[in-house]
Amino acid sequence: MHSLFFNEFDWHEEFQTSSKRNPFSYERSARQTNRAYPWYAPAPYVKAYFEQWNEVHLNIGTLFSNRNKKEASIEMVYQIGYFIEALFWINEEMALVGLWQEKFTCIEIAPINGKERLQYVIDHYDHYTAFVQLRELVNDLHKKWMKNEAIKKSQSE
């Protein structure tokens, strides 16, 4: 568990009532069922994540520029959670949000200085500068993932 996602902040009710998929929902259900999970075959899930990010990041920028900090903060929490999921799924790992810092050193595909940058985003999720940093983290991760996918494809041919 991580306090950003599982404490009683003023936006926590949004997680309970939203039609969006809650971050780490696959990880929470992994102990209950034996179905296939995104970290076993991450490509379609990660692709969907990057497509979703391309749509939502413009909205977050608009929320911050309109000084709608509460709505921007809620969306940032979702997007930080989704980013952590994608980061670990790309590395075929379950996203254990409470242990992300410890597990970060074990993953191969990650943005440069990603641990420090992600910590900044988590600490300042309600600031525009954290959004800019998250946007760059997503872009860096996308490039690394695409490179890794190209390498895997060339090795399989």
Q: Are 74 and 138 in contact (CB under 8 A)?
A: no
Query: What's the mean pLDDT in 60-67?
Result: 96
Residue range(s) defining the domain that contains residue 77: 39-149
- Tally of structural domains, the chain: 1
Looking at the domain assignment, is residue 18 inside a domain?
A: no
157 domain residue, yes or no: no
Amino acid identity, position 52 = Q
Would you state the pLDDT for residue 31? 59
Q: What percent of the chain has pLDDT over 70?
A: 77
pLDDT at 135: 98
| Burial category of 154 from C-beta neighbours within 10 Å (exposed 0-12, middle 13-18, buried 19 and up) | exposed
Half-sphere exposure of 48 (CA within 13 A, CB side): 10
pTM above 0.85, yes or no: no
Residue 34 placed within a domain:
no
Q: Find the mean pLDDT for residues 62-90.
A: 94
Span 97-119, average pLDDT: 89
Q: What is the mean pLDDT of the chain?
A: 84
Alpha-carbon gap, residue 123 to 4, rounded angstroms: 9
Residue 84 has pLDDT above 80, yes or no: yes
**For residue 25, is it within any domain?**
no
